[in-house]
Structure 1
């Protein structure tokens, strides 16, 4: 091989080596500059357990806004909305009465709870439009001292109400039982033979001027904490 041939081989080898070197640098630089996050998008690789994720708010009993201190029972009472949506009663995170449980009715809905243990004693409802008020009176007379009484109205709570029934409800600590009217919305938590008025009571009265023909489907909601009775 002459000198010219040797020079051609050397030039070709240098060219191949340089090309390989440049190609290697290009490929290395390209892959280093394109991250998987930028290629697929940050949402695909987002880790839901990353430290920047917002912690979930703990759920309170009965879904209440505030938690209850020790030795207190959480409760939530929601009245019916006109004759459209039924009421619900929750006590110590247990749904006691609701449309889903199929144990509510038109009129007044009651749940009796043991004030010491928080256990359910009885549920019942009384039709105050076409029912007989004597059944309500008999029920109220059977309630034992210290029993917590949860009440939620549905549709009409008062058409058949008489003075005896109103007095018995007042003795549970109610302020509004004495003036309860047709289609009022009422929620209440009282106690048998309570010496003072209960702080747990709400009333929404029908406006006879503006709601003469139509009772709007508005529900009353009341939630809170009641102290556990000690033995």
Structure 2
């Protein structure tokens, strides 16, 4: 009986010893592998040091253990939104504008001013010809809008509208389809008086967008002109749509 107990105790001791030996071997292997990984990392990135690795480990442990303050995370900077889809707000409270000419005889023009869509892009039949938005320079308020078909309309109506624009007014113009068939020298002269440098060249089915003014304090002029040319047209008998955006100084 005593010998059996002794054999069992001996077997138990041997088992414990083997377990400890195996555990020691695994720890040594893990240590060697860790050293190898560290040395490899140091070879890949010489700027990494043992002290850096220790600091990173401490920082990571701190981030894992610490809980973010919900109140701090919910605070967001109050960034003003730019009007009319501009990339950033106009400086010093200026008046933003963004405008498009029409495309072929299908997609109409669009004019946005100070966050208000004054001419909404439509399809077929609306806004064909020359489209004009008038803005009061002093207040920045929309005064009136006019649309004049230069294919089937009367140029006298355009001339009357241009003459009715009061001094101290900004004028935004976008064309659609054909802006010039009925356009005469008198109308072109009035448009040139608003600051246009290209109106004398605007021809059949050209695209033209313009921002100017009638005796305004702020001498601001923006303009783009795209010729109708079958060799370069994007849409067969029509040039591609053109767009323009910018800021107009506000008086008050």
Return the TM-score normalized by structure 1.
0.69
Q: Which runs of 5+ in 1 are unaligned?
A: 1-48
Structure 2 match to 1:138: 160
Task: Assess if the C-alpha contact under 8 Å between 1:175 and 1:197 holds in 2.
Answer: no
SS for the counterpart of 1:187 is strand
Structure 2 match to 1:110: 132
Shift of 1:117: 1.3
Query: How far apart are the structure 2 equivalents of 1:125 and 1:151?
Result: 10
Structure 2 match to 1:88: 110
- Aligned: 1:222 with 2:247: no
Query: How far apart are the structure 2 equivalents of 1:92 and 1:196?
Result: 16
SS for the counterpart of 1:70 is helix
Query: How far apart are the structure 2 equivalents of 1:117 and 1:196?
Result: 13
Task: Assess if the C-alpha contact under 8 Å between 1:75 and 1:225 holds in 2.
Answer: yes
Q: Which runs of 5+ in 2 are unaligned?
A: 1-69
Classify 1:197/1:72 alpha carbon distance in 2 versus 1 (closer, same or farther; 3 Å).
closer
Classify 1:145/1:60 alpha carbon distance in 2 versus 1 (closer, same or farther; 3 Å).
same
Q: How does 1:32-47 map to 2 (within 5 A)?
A: none
Larger Rg: 2
Which of 186, 189, 192 is matched with 1:164 structurally?
Answer: 186
Classify 1:102/1:76 alpha carbon distance in 2 versus 1 (closer, same or farther; 3 Å).
farther
Shift of 1:71: 3.7
Aligned length: 202
Query: How far apart are the structure 1 equivalents of 2:176 and 2:122?
Result: 15
**Larger RCO: 1 or 2 (CA < 8 Å, sep 6+):** 1
Structure number with the higher helix fraction is 2
Q: How does 1:1-231 map to 2 (within 5 A)?
A: 59-99=81-121, 104-193=126-215, 198-209=220-231, 211=233, 214-216=236-238, 218-229=240-251
Query: How far apart are the structure 2 equivalents of 1:173 and 1:142?
Result: 17
Aligned-residue CA RMSD (Å):
3.8
Classify 1:184/1:195 alpha carbon distance in 2 versus 1 (closer, same or farther; 3 Å).
farther
Shift of 1:77: 1.2
1:29-79, Cα deviation, whole Å (9 max, x unpaired): xxxxxxxxxxxxxxxxxxxx996xxx9986411001232011410001111
